[in-house]
Amino acid sequence: MAPKKSSLKEPLVLEKAQTGIQGLDEVTMGGLPRGRTTLVCGGPGSGKTLLGMEFLVRGAVHYDEPGVFVCFEETINELLQNAAGLGFDLNELWQSKRIFIDHILIERSEIEETGEYDLEGLFIRLDQAIKSVGAKRIVLDTIESLFSGLSNFSILRAELRRLFRWLKEKGMTAVITGEKGADGLTRHGLEEYVSDCVIVLDHRVANQITTRRMRVLKYRGGMHGTNEYPFIIGSSGIEILPITSLGLQHSVSDERISSGIPSLDVMMGGKGYYRGSTILVSGTAGTGKTSIASKFADAACRRGKRCAFFAFEESAHQILRNMQSIGMHLQPWVEKGLLKFYTQRPTEYGLEYHLITMHRIVDEFRPDAVIMDPIGNLGDVGIIPDVKAMLTRLVDYLKSKSITSFLTSLTPPGASLERTEIGISSLADTWLVLRDMEKEGERNREIYVLKSRGMAHSNQIRELLLSDRGLELLGVKVELEGVRTGSAKASQEIADSRITDKNE
């Protein structure tokens, strides 16, 4: 007897609607659930209305999905003005029937809580708006205003379910915004339970610096990122930090690139760094970290490659002037468009702003190398774990694009040389340590390779000499009483040569 066919059907894959919002489609792994309701909740100024508006605009412009925006608090003129400030021309979209905007005023005094209360009038109005533009998307902003006059929990719950069910029957991909409640995600505490997807926006202040975070709390039937993701509200809307590699699958290169200092390349097998790797240079003040970073930028530009230089401490003019004192002229590379400086005090903005700004610059300039000098200054705008998380994201992003990153880190006086304030040494593929040695009335710089993954490298400590001829690594003289550098080394070499001549 032939076996009976299974009655089980193939599982349906949840269809997702792309939002077009930078980073959100990566976090949600494809967009919001199509034909279902998404709740966007958060406190005042967190960006709820903007997210809903951008969802409609991007849908109408990029995906040929017209939308309806229903506001219960702001007037239509206020909404148009606010959107224009972010570069969204809602008037043009409205006139071309790609977006319909409606303002519904809810008077609490007019709402009577009876068993006859329902949303039939709203449904009729929404249905007309949807049909007028053939809408596929809809935004209701905000849900509290719609139910402001209801205190009966049973009626409130029933009408919420009825509204969400009506939207689903219409095939609408809906975004409903909700104000943060005292004890829950929303004031009523019901919307999150009947929504298919819940996005939480947070606008917090720490150490007088504002930061914004976004988290997908819930997504029925769909995979999504579960972490908090930084975002900013910029001149072109919302920008969420894009997901780079969710694991450690980025490709690597066997190509080697010069540090710009031949004697330093010799310490790394005569070939320099791996392309696409992460280089960390740490050391105390005045040991030459920026000089080594600038020499790397100079070498990249000489090969015809582009380099982005993020400076958090000195201006571009100051760096250009200072490097001339050691025979390095970077201005021609700036004029040729191969070297671009981006200078900003970290305390001007929060970490997420700096992070997303660097992402944007990398995407626009498409550099082969990126320098950040010094990374420790970012600790002024965030706690160490947040700064480390930011740098981890950025390094991972650069690795995914095979961009060589060069980080400098200041070692505080008295601190261990073989650690960094931010604790990102584990991210570095090559770690160079600089130090000052004070002896016999002199301070001389020394450098050594603490680690360099995947390559044979020198275990020697070399003297780093900065002069008007450039940067040079010299050998040190090792004796029983210690290491000699500078004039002490030169004097000892002269004395040794005299002894040799006398013996001969």
- Mind giving me the DSSP string for 94-141? HHTTSEEEEE----GGG---STT--SHHHHHHHHHHHHHHT-SEEEEE
> For all residues of the chain together, what is the average pLDDT?
83
- Please tell me the predicted confidence (pLDDT) of residue 479: 52
Cα dihedral 173/179/182/187 (nearest 10): -60
Tell me if residue 454 falls in helix, strand or coil: coil
Quick one: DSSP state of residue 52? H
Tokens of residue 49, six digits: 């209305």
Predicted pLDDT at 113 = 46
Nearest 10 degrees: CA dihedral of 171, 54, 51, 28? 60
Residue that wins the pLDDT comparison between 111 and 101: 101
Q: How far apart are CA 458 and CA 437, in angstroms?
A: 20
Which residue has tokens 């290491």?
483
Please, where are the H alpha helices in 244-315?
Answer: 262-267, 289-302
> Domains along the chain?
16-240 (3.40.50.300), 256-493 (3.40.50.300)
Residue 501: pLDDT over 60: no
Reported as a single tens digit per residue, the pLDDT across 414-427 is: 778 777 777 788 88
Judge contact between 236 and 53, C-beta under 8 A: no
Q: What is the pLDDT of residue 416?
A: 80
Q: How far is CA 88 from the centre of its chain?
A: 24
Percent of the chain at pLDDT > 90 equals: 46
- What pLDDT, in 10s, does the model give residues 438-495? 877 788 899 999 999 999 999 999 999 999 888 999 876 555 455 555 555 555 555 5
pLDDT higher than threshold 60 for residue 117: no
Q: According to the model, what pLDDT value does residue 413 have?
A: 78
Phi, psi of 381 (to 5 degrees): -120, 15
pLDDT exceeds 70 at position 246: no
**Which of these, 288, 291, 346, 341, lies nearest to 316 by C-alpha position?**
341
Judged against a pLDDT cut of 90, whether residue 82 lies above it is answered with: no
Beta carbons of 443 and 456 less than 8 angstroms apart: no
pLDDT at 330 over 90: yes
- Residue 504 pLDDT > 60, yes or no? no
Residue 54 has pLDDT above 80, yes or no: yes
